[in-house]
Amino acid sequence: MPVSPRHPTQYDVKPGLERALHLFLNELDTHIYHLQTTILQQKPVDTALLEDLNESEIKNIEHRLHTIKGGAGFLQLRDIQQCAANGEKIVESGKKKSKTEILKTQLQGVIDTLNSQAQELRAVFGYSEEDEQAPQV
């Protein structure tokens, strides 16, 4: 039987996974922070392509998106899982097309959506931002 959120929602977490949800939200914030930092450290968004990122940064982005996708899948948070999967596809597509067609604005859109979904999830289950740890640098 799913844990009851404060309000009816699309989010259901199986009993016993409340702690896992809390940990996931902490990690999600950290991943979003690092994704945001990696994207914003580059040239202005309107001219910056994925090719401006070095190989290590691209692997880091892929790893963080894959980790988010896996954690969301484990908790059956399908919208977050799908958003992270879309981010992986953007990166993969950029690598296959010599990176010239993939704008950082697409990745920024994924990051913004993940952040919005995390805030919604936190609100639904009654977690406050103060309950969460600051992103680890």
The predicted-structure confidence for 16-73, as pLDDT tens digits, reads as follows 888 899 899 999 999 999 998 887 775 554 445 566 677 888 899 999 999 999 999 9
Instruction: Quickly name the fold that domain 18-127 has.
Output: Four Helix Bundle (Hemerythrin (Met), subunit A) (1.20.120)
The pTM of the full predicted model, rounded to 2 decimals, is 0.78
Rounded distance between C-alpha atoms, residue 51 and residue 39, angstroms: 12
Please, are residues 91 and 61 in contact by the beta-carbon 8 Å criterion?
yes
Domain-wise residue ranges, the chain: 18-127
The lowest-confidence range among 9-13, 25-29, 102-106 is 9-13
State yes or no: pLDDT of 91 exceeds 60: yes
Q: How many CB atoms lie within 10 A of CB 53?
A: 22
Rounded distance between C-alpha atoms, residue 38 and residue 91, angstroms: 13
